[in-house]
């Protein structure tokens, strides 16, 4: 009886694993704006809806919007200039730029579908070209569909871990592999967005070398106790600087 039960568990576990891989294959599609094949399980319209739904909560977490309308208009102008000068204008996304009142947290980020944020703490340290580099990077995340891709990846590894747990009590091992894979993919997202940000800066008439100065600002903000790269979704700023230099060399003669 026990042996039969063990065989049933193996069969169910294998079926779950097979389902995860079949679903992943069915979700594979080519991003027409980056040329990269991705695993995505939602539409652009769903991405936009997620971003809009999350907007009020995200704003609240950072003290709301910065109250100076002139500064917000400046952020809008730089962001829209980047969009209108690049492939971003061809995408189905609606880009909105938000200056958050948070004066303590140095950060910028994008939600799926085009909602882009920068805290006043970071904004206040940037000149116009550096702001363009930050916003261009975040536009890159939207175009690269990175949030949607990570959601699909997370669902895949969760299903795979379930199958390994049911079939052979190896869920912990598979889950650990999945976490490392997600971290690696996250670092890849940052580098892809850096490269797109460089391209958008050049197309909009900004000096892309200012992106390197942004990395130096982020490095200084992280301090000496920053998380090692192998434990972080973000590559080390020094590694990002080298990749940015490569992107500048790649695009400056082609735009």
Task: Please report, for the chain, the start and end positions of each structural domain, with discontinuous segments joined by +.
Answer: 43-252
Which residue in the block uniquely carries the two structure tokens 């998380």? 227
Structural contact between residues 48 and 114, judged by C-beta atoms closer than 8 angstroms: yes
The tokens describing 226, both together, are: 């920053």
Contact between residue 100 and residue 66 where contact means Cβ atoms under 8 Å apart? yes
Give me the pLDDT at residue 185, please: 43
Q: In terms of DSSP H, where are the helices of 44-168? A: 44-61, 69-84, 120-123, 128-143, 146-168
The span from the CA of 142 to the CA of 111, in Å, is: 7
Cα 209 → chain centroid: 22
DSSP letter at 99 equals E
* Rounded Cα distance, 62 and 41, in Å: 30
Give the pLDDT of the chain (255 residues) as one tens digit per residue. Answer: 455 565 666 656 555 556 555 665 666 788 888 888 888 877 899 889 988 988 899 899 999 999 999 999 999 999 999 999 999 999 999 999 999 999 998 999 998 899 999 999 999 999 999 999 999 999 999 999 888 887 776 665 465 565 555 545 544 434 443 345 434 446 788 899 999 999 999 999 999 999 999 998 888 887 655 544 334 455 677 788 999 999 999 998 655
């Amino acid at each position: 009886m026990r042996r039969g039960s063990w065989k049933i568990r193996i069969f169910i576990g294998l079926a779950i694993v097979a389902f995860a891989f079949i679903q992943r294959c069915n979700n594979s599609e080519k991003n027409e704006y980056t040329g990269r094949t991705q695993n995505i399980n939602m539409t652009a319209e769903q991405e936009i809806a997620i971003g809009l739904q999350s907007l009020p909560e995200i704003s609240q977490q950072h003290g709301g919007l910065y109250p100076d309308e002139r500064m917000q208009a400046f952020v809008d102008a730089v962001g829209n200039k980047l969009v209108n000068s690049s492939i971003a204008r061809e995408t189905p996304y609606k880009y909105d730029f938000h200056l958050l009142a948070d004066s303590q947290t140095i950060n910028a980020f994008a939600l799926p579908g085009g909602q882009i944020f920068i805290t006043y703490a970071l904004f206040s340290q940037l000149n116009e070209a550096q702001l363009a580099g930050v916003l261009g990077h975040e536009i890159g995340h939207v175009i690269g569909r990175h949030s949607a891709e990570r959601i699909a990846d997370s669902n895949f590894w969760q299903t795979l871990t379930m199958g390994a747990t049911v079939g052979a009590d190896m869920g912990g091992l598979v889950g650990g592999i999945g976490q490392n894979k997600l971290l690696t993919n996250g670092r890849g997202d940052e580098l892809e967005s850096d490269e797109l940000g460089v391209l958008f800066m050049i197309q909009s008439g900004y000096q892309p070398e200012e992106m390197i100065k942004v990395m130096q600002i982020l490095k200084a903000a992280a301090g000496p106790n920053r998380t090692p790269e192998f434990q972080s979704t973000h590559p080390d700023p020094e590694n990002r600087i080298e990749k940015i230099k490569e992107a500048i060399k790649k695009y400056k003669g082609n735009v």
